[in-house]
Structure 1
Amino acid sequence: MRFTFKHPWIHLTPALSAIALDDILSGNTCQPIGLADFESYLEHKEHSVENLRFVVWYQSYRRRFFALPPAKQKLSPGSRQFSFALPTPARTAQHISRMSSRATTLVYDEPLTPNSALHSPTTSTSPTLSRTSSVPLTASSSIPSRAYMHTAPEKQPLRDECTLVAATFLLPSAPYELMLPSLLLSTILRDVALNTHPDVFLPAYEYAYDALLTSSLPRFLEIAQQNMNWEKKLYWWLYGIMTSCVGWAIVIGCLFISYDSHTTQGRLRAWRLLGVPFLSLGAMQMYAAYRG
């Protein structure tokens, strides 16, 4: 599904307005609107690179999970259908209700011990997470005390990677902590202890994707638009500076023009106003260059 968003205060050219977030994530764009450029912008300008890294990781994780043999996928049951939608209060409440209901009605064959549900990760196969440090993680106290697992957590597919993701993006004070509603966050952490199916992380993915689509991407494209018009910007900068210099020359020149004694004031100060149109025009031209 292809999502686009038009920001009410950001005006882009038709070509850039047609750029979707998926185009950048899939590598279909090049500099200066490539994936590396977008990541650099989020890291150094908006300081919200955690959203992009989580989205990239989740898409990779979902592909790798469903590439596993069916027998391994059954160890972490869930739907194969990708029911993605942008988050709304109603959808968030639906997620919490569905996840909570599933956690309280499951029946397991083997006892679930709190310390075995989430343990310290050792290695990760995700390139997105290779730049982050491993943080020990223990089971949340919100795990049902009478829950029983039909499969031990350490035997679930990609368990270490899920633990590392929770420690990197979800726990309080995590290196790349996502901004999520507290109730939804606690629900996700509880489900991570019970399951490694990609649907466990789907609510967090929707929030991170929405933040990129509606906030970060329009601003990133606006800056890229300015950078792509650098020749035109240079022209208007020079034109604006030259026009302003003409205006200042008129104003300063009027200060040194003397008149005969028949002139009422000796110096016609009103003549300085001749420079105002040039100064105003120069300022507008330089502002246009600044805005790209």
Structure 2
Amino acid sequence: MVYPITYRRPSHVSYTSSSESIPDSQTRQTLNASIRSGSSGMSHGIPEALSFDRIIAGGVCPPCTTRDFMNYLRYIELAAENLQFFLWYRDYAKRFNDLPENQQALSPEWTDVNSEPENQARFNHLNPETAAIFEGTDFANEPRVAEPERDNPFFTPPHTPNDNSYKRDGESFDSSEASFALTSKTDHTQRASGAFERAGLKWKPLSVQPYREEISRIISIYIADGGTRQLNLSSRERTAVLHALQNTTHPSALHHVITTVEWTLRCQAHPNFIRWTICNGNRPRVIFARGLGVSGIVLGLATATILTLSSAGRAWRVISILGLLIGISTLVAAWKGMCVVLHGMHHRHLRPWELFSSDDEPSGYDMKGNSVDSLTSNSSSNSYEDEPWIAKYEKRNVIRKVFDREVWIQEPALRQIQDTIFLQAILAAFILSIIIVGIFCAIPHGNYF
């Protein structure tokens, strides 16, 4: 089964230089449109089976899994922090929403009190004890609604969630195994405080709020200037999110940041990832395939020229169509990053970082997209220049790179895309070959030999 013959692979999307160039209304509008289009049929050359949501949910096979997406962003686009932050936020929002209501009340939902003053009373209704905690913050003047059980003098305050563990699907996990794990010994609270000072905000840590320590780590790593995985945020966005996180650890405090990050992933990184994944060969193999395509075309033209200049009958000139057909189809496929020989077996080359991976290394992500290795550890940098596979791959000669190890493509939707491109290449080669051979057949005999 193939897609329509008019199928076009996703176009390469250039990254915006700054998030300031994406207005918030446009961001939300485009994001919503992307979500809607991603759930119905083909969208911009991306079938529903390879949609962003299916990849994140773990509903695809290699080489289109969440781990493959992360590797692409890390080694090719150099922007893995966007997906790392998105996965952390999705997990964090789930954990926060699973908290008991009395714990969630410590971190009220955030709304920009400067731009939406009419919505203040809609979000936060604090009891006296909780309101006392927010003394001196933007929530101090919010309407207060007493809760009978909290007015009881024998009431025991809820236990604040421990930042070192959380529960998922009824099981307890240590943070060293979670997507927000921390292995660095950096004083994240101090770095977060410095970020607030540079933004002109007074740091008021409310340690009683759930996951306050984790939020301090996130600020230090993703929000603060010089963070190991600093997001590409404008100064205005950074100040706004710090203002929100200064008062609450509710996921809504990161609304504007996650909107920009998700827009970048859905509308820029995801199409580029699918376009890159369609290529089944490495660069040396693709260049080699292009060379074979050009050689086939030259051989076909030379054969047609010799037969035209000779005294052989016109029917013999049709033989040149074989070289032209093979050469043009190979060249068209290589132009789109595909090697027809690898495609014939539905194989692809292993990526350089896959060639030297060990079976003892962690698998990276489970089927739900949850991180289980250091790839998304919230303390390590995304820099990979010192990884051993780089030196090993550079030492390989060109011939060995051309015939690198191959692996079967498991994702059916990707194979269908490649089948469609191969069919397009064959069709284009057939039409062009017929035209070229027809021109040669119309030329009179040369009778030179």
Q: Does 1:75 align with 2:106?
A: yes
Per the TM alignment, residue 249 of structure 1 is displaced from its structure 2 partner at its CA by: 6.0
- Per the alignment, residue 267 of structure 2 pairs with 214
| Secondary structure at the counterpart of residue 115 of structure 2 | helix
Which of 121, 130, 136 is the matching residue for 2:181?
Answer: 130
RMSD across aligned positions (CA): 4.4
Per the TM alignment, residue 70 of structure 1 is displaced from its structure 2 partner at its CA by: 1.2
- Per the alignment, residue 51 of structure 2 pairs with 20
Q: Does 1:41 align with 2:72?
A: yes
Q: Does 1:159 align with 2:212?
A: yes
Alignment deviations for residues 145-170 of structure 1 (CA, whole Å, 9 cap, x no partner) = 9xxx8xx7111101111111111111
TM-score, structure 2 normalization: 0.44
Matched letter for residue 178 of structure 2: P
| Secondary structure at the counterpart of residue 155 of structure 1 | coil
Which of 150, 171, 176 is the matching residue for 2:224?
Answer: 171
Q: Does 1:193 align with 2:246?
A: yes
In 2, are the aligned partners of 1:132 and 1:168 still within 8 Å (CA)?
A: no
In 1, are the aligned partners of 2:210 and 2:249 still within 8 Å (CA)?
A: yes
In 2 relative to 1, CA 191–41 (structure 1 residues): closer, same or farther, beyond 3 Å? same
The 2-side partners of 1:211 and 1:143 are apart by 28
Mapping of 1:65-104 within 5 angstroms? 65-78=96-109, 97-98=115-116
The 2-side partners of 1:45 and 1:203 are apart by 26
In 2, are the aligned partners of 1:169 and 1:176 still within 8 Å (CA)?
A: yes
In 2, are the aligned partners of 1:96 and 1:184 still within 8 Å (CA)?
A: no
Mapping of 1:185-264 within 5 angstroms? 185-227=238-280, 240=293, 243-244=296-297, 246-247=299-300
The 2-side partners of 1:177 and 1:26 are apart by 25
Count residues in correspondence: 235
The 1-side partners of 2:275 and 2:301 are apart by 33
Matched letter for residue 78 of structure 1: E
In 1, are the aligned partners of 2:50 and 2:64 still within 8 Å (CA)?
A: no
- Per the alignment, residue 61 of structure 1 pairs with 92
Per the TM alignment, residue 95 of structure 1 is displaced from its structure 2 partner at its CA by: 9.2
Matched letter for residue 172 of structure 1: D
Which of 17, 30, 35 is the matching residue for 1:3?
Answer: 35
The 1-side partners of 2:327 and 2:222 are apart by 49
Per the TM alignment, residue 50 of structure 1 is displaced from its structure 2 partner at its CA by: 0.6
In 2, are the aligned partners of 1:247 and 1:279 still within 8 Å (CA)?
A: yes
| Secondary structure at the counterpart of residue 219 of structure 1 | helix
The 2-side partners of 1:225 and 1:96 are apart by 47
| Secondary structure at the counterpart of residue 225 of structure 2 | coil
Per the TM alignment, residue 182 of structure 1 is displaced from its structure 2 partner at its CA by: 1.4
The 2-side partners of 1:210 and 1:132 are apart by 29
- Per the alignment, residue 118 of structure 1 pairs with none
Identify unmatched segments of 5+ residues in structure 2. 1-31, 138-161, 166-174, 310-319, 339-449
In 2, are the aligned partners of 1:143 and 1:190 still within 8 Å (CA)?
A: yes
Alignment deviations for residues 112-151 of structure 1 (CA, whole Å, 9 cap, x no partner) = 59xxxxxxx9857382232663433243244469xxx8xx
In 1, are the aligned partners of 2:223 and 2:231 still within 8 Å (CA)?
A: yes
In 2 relative to 1, CA 175–251 (structure 1 residues): closer, same or farther, beyond 3 Å? farther
Matched letter for residue 330 of structure 2: Q
In 2, are the aligned partners of 1:12 and 1:225 still within 8 Å (CA)?
A: no
The 1-side partners of 2:83 and 2:251 are apart by 17
In 2 relative to 1, CA 5–38 (structure 1 residues): closer, same or farther, beyond 3 Å? farther
Give aligned-pair identity as a percent. Answer: 24
The 2-side partners of 1:39 and 1:76 are apart by 31
Q: Does 1:288 align with 2:341?
A: no
Identify unmatched segments of 5+ residues in structure 1. 84-93, 114-120, 258-274
- Per the alignment, residue 24 of structure 2 pairs with none
In 2, are the aligned partners of 1:188 and 1:201 still within 8 Å (CA)?
A: yes
The 2-side partners of 1:47 and 1:62 are apart by 26
Matched letter for residue 273 of structure 2: F
TM-score, structure 1 normalization: 0.64
Per the TM alignment, residue 44 of structure 1 is displaced from its structure 2 partner at its CA by: 0.3
